[in-house]
Amino acid sequence: GAVVSQHPSRVICKSGTSVKIECRSLDFQATTMFWYRQFPKKSLMLMATSNEGSKATYEQGVEKDKFLINHASLTLSTLTVTSAHPEDSSFYICSARGPLRSYGYTFGSGTRLTVV
């Protein structure tokens, strides 16, 4: 199989603090991982592409300094929401291409972030 683990599943933080979300590929190596954001009843919007050993590629309109992405190994990518504000509250999901094309993309279970 191709399993992606994402933690935490839920987090509540105060405005101004930072939150780190981890995304791990458990049984395969992922040189590229993707971070999406999803608002209620909306589609998944690509935020950035995380590349192992190099800088992430951000989508237009996504603040690089606010959403820090680090892909330090072939199995781990992290997204840090810095100086969080209530408008950052959302569902964040990571994904990676499976080890075989036929596997499609495998998604983590998502992180529900609430900033109060």
Partner 1 sequence: QQPVQSPQAVILREGEDAVINCSSSKALYSVHWYRQKHGEAPVFLMILLKGGEQKGHEKISASFNEKKQQSSLYLTASQLSYSGTYFCGTERNSNNDMRFGAGTRLTVKP
Q: Which is nearer to partner 1, 47 or 115 (CB)?
A: 47
For the segment 51-80, give every residue that binds partner 1 (CB under 8 A): none
Residue 116 in contact with residue 54, Cβ under 8 Å?
no
R_g of the chain computed on alpha carbons: 13
Query: Nearest-CA neighbor of 69 among 18, 14, 8, 20?
Result: 20
Q: What 8-state DSSP symbol labels residue 31? A: S
Distance, in Å, from the CA atom of 1 to the CA atom of 11, rounded to the nearest integer, reads: 28
Q: Which of 90, 106, 113, 115 binds partner 1 (CB under 8 A)?
A: 106
Q: Should residue 114 be labelled a site residue for partner 1 when binding is judged by CB under 8 A?
A: no
Among the residue ranges 16-24, 34-42, 68-76, 80-88, the one whose residues contact partner 1 (CB under 8 A): 34-42
Q: Which is nearer to partner 1, 21 or 93 (CB)?
A: 93
CA 78 to chain centre: 7
Which amino acid is present at 80?
T
Q: Should residue 30 be labelled a site residue for partner 1 when binding is judged by CB under 8 A?
A: no
Number of residues that bind partner 1 (CB under 8 A): 24
Q: Which residues bind partner 1 (CB under 8 A)?
A: 6, 34, 36, 41-46, 49, 93, 95, 98, 101-110, 112
